[in-house]
Structure 1
Amino acid sequence: MINFILKKVDKLIKIHKTRNPFEIAESMNITVKYDDLGSLKGFYFYQSRFRYIVINENIDDRLKPIICAHELGHDRLHQSFAKSGAIKEFSFFDMSAKPEREANLFMAELLVTDDDILNLTKLGYNHDFIARELGVPIEVVDFKGQILRKKGFKIKDFGVAEGDFLKGY
């Protein structure tokens, strides 16, 4: 499945000439809305041929691209689920659910380039430093590390990705 996700992300980047999930969503006619969602970070839904990504307006602005990219992953990978009802992340980034793991991998591949991680790890930096340098939670770095290992790179397993890592944000 990782290879399928990588191909989907690569195709999106080539078509839209950006890694910005908001620009991609707009180009694909996916409406991005903001609303007070309480503890819910965001969700994706499909209704009457219209697609929506809804992001909690009260979360830190640095997390909004991460959530948008994750929900964009649901659009590209799980649209058939969404046609039957909204895909909601009650525990955002719940690694126990296969669709959530796939959307997480999609998000990491879209937002973080291979070189972003490889160049910093070659210099000996740890996952905490890399995450701060890239401006993402360390779990995003871990998801990207999983992808890089699948691609054959010798990169340390950071082992920090937890299902509920955004609860603290």
Structure 2
Amino acid sequence: MKNIHARVRHLIQKFNTRNPAKIAKYINIHVKYTEYSYGTKGFFIKTLRNKFIIVNSTLDEESQRIILAHELGHALLHYNEPISIIREYTFFPIGPFEREANKFAAELLIPDDELRLDLSISEMSQLFGLPEELIKYKLNLY
């Protein structure tokens, strides 16, 4: 796996934020919120010199933030690869590109200094308001 932790840390330091929408704006990736069926959560697409992240606007705000962080991972790690769409009813489809994008999202959304290793994964999930799967990616359990 690429050194995703270092890449995310560099982005956070450079832009002084963990907000995926702000980072996307700073690096000139256009984010669009569009209504899709529940089966499509989001995707990244590159056309000529433009990069777009499309997020399903029917998702709740926290889900949109997670999907945006995940798709930002695709935009930065896999920009020369075929389009990636999350169509499943989980945030976490399987495959090497998806695992890397999930790891990117976990590194971006969960600060190292706020991890509580004295808590269970379920408790950390509740603490951060994020799915347990993201906690596992942060802890390198995948």
TM over 0.5: yes
Please give the alpha-carbon distance, in whole angstroms, between the structure 2 residues aligned to 1:20 and 1:138. Answer: 20
Write the mapping of 1:85-104 to structure 2, written as runs, cut at 5 A.
86-91=83-88, 92-95=91-94, 97-104=95-102
Q: Which residue of 2 aligns with 1:64?
A: 64
How far did residue 141 of structure 1 move?
0.8
How far did residue 35 of structure 1 move?
0.9
Task: Answer yes or no: is 1:132 the counterpart of 2:131.
Answer: no
How far did residue 130 of structure 1 move?
1.1
2:92, 2:133 within 8 Å by CA — same for their partners in 1?
Answer: no
Q: Which residue of 2 aligns with 1:149?
A: none
How far did residue 115 of structure 1 move?
2.1
How many residues align structurally? 139
Please give the alpha-carbon distance, in whole angstroms, between the structure 2 residues aligned to 1:141 and 1:7. Answer: 18
Which of 106, 115, 136 is equivalent to 1:108? Answer: 106
Please give the alpha-carbon distance, in whole angstroms, between the structure 1 residues aligned to 2:57 and 2:15. Answer: 26
Q: Which residue of 2 aligns with 1:23?
A: 22
Moved over 6 A (4+): none
Write the mapping of 1:24-63 to structure 2, written as runs, cut at 5 A.
24-38=23-37, 39-63=39-63
2:20, 2:68 within 8 Å by CA — same for their partners in 1?
Answer: yes
User: Gapped runs of 5+ residues in structure 2?
Assistant: none
The two structures have a TM-score, normalised by structure 2, of 0.91
SS at match of 1:79: coil
Please give the alpha-carbon distance, in whole angstroms, between the structure 1 residues aligned to 2:9 and 2:124. Answer: 23
How far did residue 99 of structure 1 move?
0.3
SS at match of 1:46: strand
2:43, 2:85 within 8 Å by CA — same for their partners in 1?
Answer: yes
SS at match of 2:80: helix
Please give the alpha-carbon distance, in whole angstroms, between the structure 2 residues aligned to 1:127 and 1:93. Answer: 16
How far did residue 5 of structure 1 move?
1.2
Task: Answer yes or no: is 1:80 the counterpart of 2:76.
Answer: no
Q: Which residue of 2 aligns with 1:166?
A: none
Q: Which residue of 1 aligns with 2:135?
A: 141
Identity of aligned residues (%): 37
Which structure has the greater CA radius of gyration?
Answer: 1
